[in-house]
Each structure stands twice: as C-alpha cells, then as structure tokens.
Chain A
Amino acid sequence: MPTRKSRQKGDQAEKQAAGITENLPGDGIFVAGVAPPSSFNEYSKEMFESWLRVGLEGFLLEGEDIWAFPGAETILAGPEPFIKKLGNFYRALASQQRARFRQATADLLAILPSQERFVPVFEYLLALALEIRAYEILPVLPRQVGSGFFGLTDQRDGESLFVQTLLTVIQLAAPRSDALNCILRLMGSDHFDHAYAGVTLTALCYCDGANLVPHIERMRTPLDAMFREFSTGQAGKRVLATSILEAVGIHPVVSALPHLTYFNKEREDAPLDLWFLDALLTGDAPLLICEETEHRWFRFLNSMNMKSEELFPREGPGMPDLIDYIHRKRLVRNIYPSAAVINEYFLHITPRDSSSGRFIHAWFPQVRIGSAPSSLGATS
C-alpha cells in the first residue's frame, strides 16, 4: 500500500515528467492576481502618485500606450479594458501598498489642474477610483468638483464629468459620513441634474438609512421635477421604492411613512410623497399591509424577505392622511387566505395574541372571503 510520502513523491515525479510547475505566477495571464514586479513594494504614496500621473498623461495624452507605466507593462498588456487591468495591478499589490495606491489616486484627483486637456485623465481617475473602491476620494471630490469646470466638460460617453463624479460617488455609497457629506455637497452644486434624483436618493439611503425622512424631504423637489419631465410609469417608481426599501430595511421605511407629506392645503401643485406610498403599496407592491386591528395598528410585510413591521397610528403629522389613503385605496382587505397560502407566506409571522380574535388581512384577491380555518387557531 503506498504511503502518503510515496504518493507525494509519485505526484511530484509525474509533474516533473510533465514539465509543469503548478501555481507559478504565469498561470492565467488573463486572470486578476498577476503579481507586479517587486520594485513596487518599496513605492511610497508620493511615488505612486507621480507614477500614476505620468502614466495616465503619457497613456491618454501623449500616445505612449502601456510604456507610460514603467514596470507594469506586462500586466497592462492583456485584452481586458484598461481600467480593469489597472485594477488588477492594484489588487496584486501588498495590502500596505494598496492603501498607498488608493490615497495616491485620491491625491492626484485633488491636485490635477481643472483644464480641458485633463478631462480624459479625470475620467480615468474616477473610473479607477470606482474599480479599486478608493473611498479616499470622497473627502477630496466636492472641493475639486464644485460648480465650475466639472459641469462644463463632456467625457467620452457624452456625460459631463460632474455626472460621472456623481455616479461614481453613488456607486461608492456606503454607511460612512464622508460618503454622505460628499453626496450632499454634490447635490448642492449648480450642476446637479434632477434626472439623477432617483439614484441620489437611493445612495443617500445607503449612506444613512436612519434618516430616511430628511432624505426624502431633501429630494422631494428634484424627484417631482424628474417625475414631471420624464414619463415615469408606476414600474419605474416601484424600482426606486424597492431600492430604498432594500437600502434601509422595512423598519425605517414603515417608521418614516407617518412623517411624509401626502397632502398640501396651501398649494395644490406642491411636491408630495404620494408617489412613494403608491409605489410601495399598490399593484405588484414590495411592501404589503397584511394585518390591521380595528384601525389601531397595521402590520407591514416586506414581500421580498417576508420580514414584517408594525405601525401604530398618531405617530406623525402624516398619519391621518396615511390611514385615509390606506382605507380609500383598500390596501388592507378583510380577506382570509387559504391554509396553504398562509402556510406559504405567513409562517414567518408570529401572531401577537392568539385569543384576541384579530383578523388576518391578505392581498390575495382570489382567496374566498370567510372565516379563517380553525387549524390556524392563532389567527382565527
């Protein structure tokens, strides 16, 4: 019987016969993880910044191709998009070097002159920052972007640099104060376009899910302008409402509902938040009202993950309008689902009181109206 040692020896002999040494760095030239030359191990942040600037200017403005990046030519030679390859270079660095490279990207973005000639360099730097998730750019961006140069220039895809910056920041959105500050400052720019109000609101929610009401209030006017200018459709609004629900979770959404504005006595055409209710609760809704006890409270259910949340009345100025809306639109129906449906959808919900005679209200119109099956003692 071969021993472990002899088996290993056999494997090794076989590999040697095949002339193959496994796991060498040349394995898979198209795949990320190819190591850059060891000379980059000693690079400081300033050296990376200079290397990146000289490289991008040479590559983009002076036609030097990959030779503008001495030492990294082989990594940058593959068929992938250039930014992806630069990302591969970054990912192959040691962790300390990666931090220096990210900071160098941010610093370069901060000091690059605001001149037409450098638009492609800005464009590549923003794309690189997104590729390598360089959150270090967040504090420097608002200062650089401001209300001037960035909004006046077009990059290759016909968008302004400002829009590219906004979309980069939105995609970097994370629960961090610098991300939130960056988005808020970009929103304050003259170049902020209400066409991007939807994605901006979603990004705000990702950065700071606990303050949904202020975010919706802040975006109320740009969103209204967006809805007016473009033929939205309920499906589009539902995409947005679902994104918000995914970003913050059911509790902040349900808690925010009584604090939103559904009616304005003084101005009929004033922007409202009714779109949010409509998109959340009607039609093929992401949020369902599955239970109500004689107007005392509602139970909301996130149809995507079956998590539920209760909402009590008189919690905010919008609550009367909200209750009125729910009843007027018949969003809670006094319909009992079949046992099978209940088993499928309601097992996640533990009824609060099994003997209170509380109703379960469902959203399945095909289910016959009547008493709940006795087998569901807890809900009958």
Chain B
Amino acid sequence: MPLPLTPAKFTKRLTEFPGGLIIVCNILDGIDQKLLDDNYAQTLFDWWRTLVNWKGDRTPPPGISDSDLPNEIMGCFNILLYHPLPNAFRPGESRPNFFLAGIHRRLRNINNFGKFINVTDGNVFLQHVIHEDERRRLFGSVTSHFTKTPSHELSLFMGHGTISVVLRDSSTVGNPDRLLWIAPDRYNGTSLSDVFPRPDAANQLRDLLGLNHYTKGTGLVALHLPLDAVKAGVHARPTVADSGGHVRFKSRPDLPKHFKQRAWGFTVDLAKLSANADILDGWPERVVEPIPCWWFGNLTITPLGFLSETRGKIKGMDDDATYAKRLRVAHGTQKDILKRLRGYI
C-alpha cells in the first residue's frame, strides 16, 4: 500500500511523474520569482498531501494502488483548488485561499493595452454563454432548426467572421468556478488580432497561448474583452494554483527582457516546444475573476475555426515528460529538487 504518504515519500513521489514534477517546478519557480512566499508553499503542500492521504483512507478496497497514485495526487491538487472539501477533512479548519497570489504584481500601464483576448472552446461558448435568441439570429431562424444539433451549429458558427453577440445574463465569461485567462491584444508591436483572419488561426493561437488541452476537432473562439471589463475585476499575474495544475503552465519566463515585465506571466508556445526551441515564451497573460455576462451588453467575438491537430502527445517531442524535463533544467537533478522541497514539506 503506497499510502499514507509521509512528507518525504510525498516529495519523492511528486518528482517521479511528469505532472507532479511540472507543478513542483512551477511552485519553486514561483518562489524564485517572488510570486509565492515560503508560507504559501508550505501550506499548499501540507493541504495537498493530507488530502491525498485522507482520500486514500476512504477509498474502498483494494484501495489506491501504486500505479493509481500519480492520478490521485494530480486529482487531489485539482480538488483542493476547485471543489468543496467534505466537512470531515481537516474539521475546524477553513481552506486557505490559494488563488490570485500574484495580485501584488500590478499592471500599472493597463490603459496602454486597449483590449484583451480570451480564447475558449466554441462549443461551450455556444451552448452556455451566448444568448439563446442570439443563437437563433446567428444561424437564421430556420437554418437553426435544420441544423439544431450542436455539431452542425458549431460548424456554421465557425464560418462566421468577427461578430458582436448578446450573452446570457445569468452566465459568466470564464468558467464561474475558475479564473479567466486574458492576453493583451497588442504586445511588442504585434497584435493577436492579426492572426484571426488566417486560415490556420485556431492552431496558431492555441500554440501561442499554450492551450494544449484543446485537442484536434475542437472549435475555438476568441473573445474581445474591453479594457474596462478587465479593470473592473481583480486581476493578477498567474501562479501555479491559478493554473489548476495545467501541464503547460510556467511561472518562469525564459527571456531576460520578460523577467523584467513582472506583471505578466508568459505562456508556453507549443510550437516552440515541439521544435525544441531554446526559448519557450509565448504571449503575455494574466488571470482575472470570471466576468458576469450582464457586464458586457454585447461582446465582440471571432470564431477561429477547428483545430487540425493535437499537441502534447508526441513522446520525446512535446509530451508532458519532455516539458517536465525542460522545466527541471533550472532546478538541477532530482536530488537537488528533493533537497529544496524539504524546506516546504
């Protein structure tokens, strides 16, 4: 039985599989970047480990096997961040707030950025965010009845250019249980919007923004978020907790000039990772609390088309193990990482 995990066992196990190693490196990078402090890291590791053990105790026989353990560890990281915890777990203690820890990295020149872009799943947007009447208007009153099935409707949706749509009042832009990831439209003299008209826009933006969880066949849509909508909410430089354990997140920029831009996180450019480039920095990004749809009135969106390929599946090229290896370089060997982790676990 691999459980219960002592601090030493937990530390070792974390560094033995790619997902765990990616989170560990990002936490250490977050500390190095002064995004997170020691106390934050200690608390996060403590709650995480005790949740794995607590869940293991309650798993029906034959319990959690050693091969199931990486899944359990990764799943518990997500549960800890995004799901209500049962009363029986650490009774009398309330869960610390692990989100938006990078809030102290203020974006002082926010007014220079004009607007922000969020790229999301077109199907989810169509089904849950866009107003039902707008959907009918968008596809023509009758065409929508011919092609009411979501897949047909999504195909039609992806054929649209940039449009302004009405949203459901009761919905939010961004998953209400999570955070909304935003990227400035303009950066360093280039603009994300320039990519939109290209036939390969979905693949290009997915790569640039590091969205490897969107797989082949997913239709993507870009939301143009006005500056005021972002300014009205709490926004911060993203940390590993904000990412929820996303396997292509990084806390540490590669380029020295990006180090100086302390208010921004930088995405992992998936195309660069695939090409084994030295620099993986993609586009700047921040996180903001989900924005209620009623705030917008109308929202401008650009359907980007369907992804023609999946990223992150080629062993030794762009898979999780390859990426974990890239992150680990800054921290030395497994031994070095374990030594550092001892201070926090």
Contacts and interface: CB of A to CB of B under 8 A. Distances in A.
Given A70-B60, A198-B145, A25 B83 contact: no
Nearest to B215: A31
A236 interface: yes
A22 B321 contact: yes
A20 B21 contact: yes
By CB atoms of chain B within 10 A, which of A24, A39, A226 has the most?
Answer: A24
A75 interface: yes
Interface in A33-49: 34-35, 37-39
B71 A74 contact: yes
Size bin of chain A's contact surface: 35 or more
Contacts of B146: 198-199, 202, 236, 239-240, 243
B210 interface: no
A26 interface: yes
Contact of B247 (A19, A29, A67): A29
A26 B20 contact: yes
Given A27-B19, A195-B145, A17 B178 contact: no
Interface string A97-127: 0000000000000000000000000000000
Contact of B148 (A34, A37, A39, A167): A167
Interface stretch (B62-70, B231-239, B271-279): B62-70
B137 to A, nearest CB: 12
B75 A31 contact: no
B79 A226 contact: no
Contact of B245 (A25, A29, A158): A29
B154 interface: no
Contacts of A227: 142
A345 interface: no
Contacts of B175: 79
A21 B319 CA distance: 12
B177 to A, nearest CB: 8
A231 interface: yes
Interface stretch (B1-9, B10-18, B194-202, B296-304): B10-18
Nearest to A239: B146
B253 interface: no
Interface residues of B, number: 66
Contacts, number: 180
A356 interface: no
A62 to B, nearest CB: 12
B68 A35 contact: yes
A19 B325 CA distance: 8
A22 B21 CA distance: 12
Contact of A37 (B59, B212, B334): B59
A19 B67 contact: no
Given A19-B15, A19-B334, A39-B61, A26 B71 contact: yes
Given A27-B321, A39-B59, A157-B132, A199 B334 contact: no
B151 A65 contact: no
A23 interface: yes
Contacts of B63: 39
Given A39-B62, A70-B58, 4 more contacts: A27-B18, A27-B320, A29-B19, A236-B140
Question: 10 closest A-B pairs (Cβ-Cβ)?
Answer: A74-B75, A26-B70, A19-B334, A198-B146, A77-B78, A230-B142, A30-B213, A26-B17, A24-B17, A29-B74
9 contacts: A17-B333, A18-B324, A23-B315, A23-B321, A29-B19, A30-B247, A35-B67, A39-B61, A233-B143
